[in-house]
Amino acid sequence: MHLFPDPVSELLEQIERALDQSTQLPADCPDRLRESMRYSLLAGGKRLRPVLTLLACRTCGTDPLQAMPAAIALEMVHTYSLIHDDLPAMDDDALRRGRPTNHVQFGEATAILAGDGLLTHAFYTITSGLGDSRHAAACCRELAEAAGATGMVGGQQADLEAETAAPGALGFADLLEIHRRKTGCLIRCALRMGAIVADASERQFAALTKYGEAIGLAFQIADDVLDRTGTQEKMGKQVAKDDSHSKLTFPALLGLDESRARAEQLVADAIAALDIFENETTALRSLARYSIVRDH
């Protein structure tokens, strides 16, 4: 169950409709590829990233639906990353959101192509959906940087390399850098794209960036904790896999109590960053807290 405030529930419904409509691809797209893309994209999930994009836009004084193309494009990129992350060559997971992972359902080759399709369709969605070409260009640049070789993809590579590093070779600074890129960049991007569409001031843009960076790291710490303390039934995926893969995680370095304390401080930092806004920030404050109190 979502712990989101009521106004966010309406946004979630609109996000689901937009994701569905945006992937009603034409006949030139092979049926199996379309089915595979939609299988993962429409499988549910928290939708935290697109919600943050819409709320950032609204917090800066603009109709949040103006940012919907950017919001759903970000969810496409996030979903593509999950499809590829689950592949046998990566984490080799068989379960995602309580269902067989994409490669289990459709085969590895189609799963790879479905991820490729979602990634490229994301940029089509931004450029065809945002009415202001300046906003579209800025959002494309923001998303490409967050998802690419110096962002999420680079973080994933560093995470893979950490699995085979010599014991004790990597420390806390390395872990922060991995997760800043692997998880944090897309969450920061969510806030910044919403701010771009709203023509936010430099002060507003900086505040939302700080908020995004803080909850991005808090969210990842919570994920690491849940891998140790959560259940497969609630998580909808395999748990206790980080230790089995020798992954560098916050609980492994700091222990559960210290990890939770750091996540709490990051949430406090994120909420404090919102103090500059005159518009309603209740939803963003609630989402900051949700990032660490969730059970899946």
Q: Model confidence over 75-98: pLDDT tens digits?
A: 999 999 999 999 999 999 999 988
Region 50-57: mean pLDDT is: 98
Q: Are 31 and 66 in contact (CB under 8 A)?
A: no
Query: For the domain that residue 159 is a member of, what is the CATH number?
Result: 1.10.600.10
Contact at 8 Å (CB) between 201 and 239? no
Statement: residue 104 has pLDDT above 50? yes
Instruction: Output the CA torsion sign for 21, 22, 26, 32.
Output: negative
Contacts (Cβ under 8 Å, ≥6 apart) of 29: 117
pLDDT of 141 higher than 50: yes
Beta strands in the chain (DSSP E): 95-96, 99-100
User: How much is the average pLDDT of 19-43?
Assistant: 98
Residue 193 located in a structural domain: yes
Query: Residues 203-230, buried b or exposed e (16+ Cβ, 10 A)?
Result: ebbebbbbbbbbbbbbbbbbbbbbbbeb
pLDDT value, residue 129: 98
Between the ranges 6-20, 77-91, 165-179, where is the mean pLDDT highest? Answer: 77-91
Half-sphere exposure of 209 (CA within 13 A, CB side): 10
Residues contacting residue 47 through CB under 8 Å, at least 6 positions apart = 12, 15, 16, 75
Q: Whole-prediction pTM value?
A: 0.93
Domain, as residue range, for 191: 6-293
Q: How far is CA 79 from the centre of its chain?
A: 8
237 closest CA partner among 76, 12, 40: 40
Mean pLDDT of 230-257: 72
**Cα–Cα distance, 164 to 194 (Å, whole number):** 38
Condensed to tens digits (0 to 9), the pLDDT of residues 187-239 reads 999 999 999 999 999 999 999 999 999 999 999 999 999 988 876 665 555 65
| pLDDT score recorded for residue 236 | 57
**Predicted local confidence at residue 241, as pLDDT:** 62
Longest CA–CA separation in the chain, Å: 53
Cα–Cα distance, 71 to 63 (Å, whole number):
13
- Whether residue 1 is contained in a domain is answered as no
The pLDDT value recorded for residue 215 is 96
Q: What is the pLDDT of residue 243?
A: 54
**How many domains are there within the chain?**
1
Mean pLDDT of all residues in 39-55: 96
Mean pLDDT along residues 244-254:
81
Q: Which residues contact 172 (CB under 8 A, 6 or more apart)?
A: 253, 254
Q: What is the pLDDT of residue 103?
A: 98
Q: Exposed e or buried b for every residue in 8-42, given b needs 16+ CB within 10 A?
A: beebbebbeebbeebbeeeeeeeeebbebbbbbbe
- At 1, is the pLDDT very low, low, confident or very high (cuts 50, 70, 90)? very low
* Residue 149, pLDDT above cutoff 70: yes
Burial class (CB in 10 A: 0-12, 13-18, 19+), 56: buried
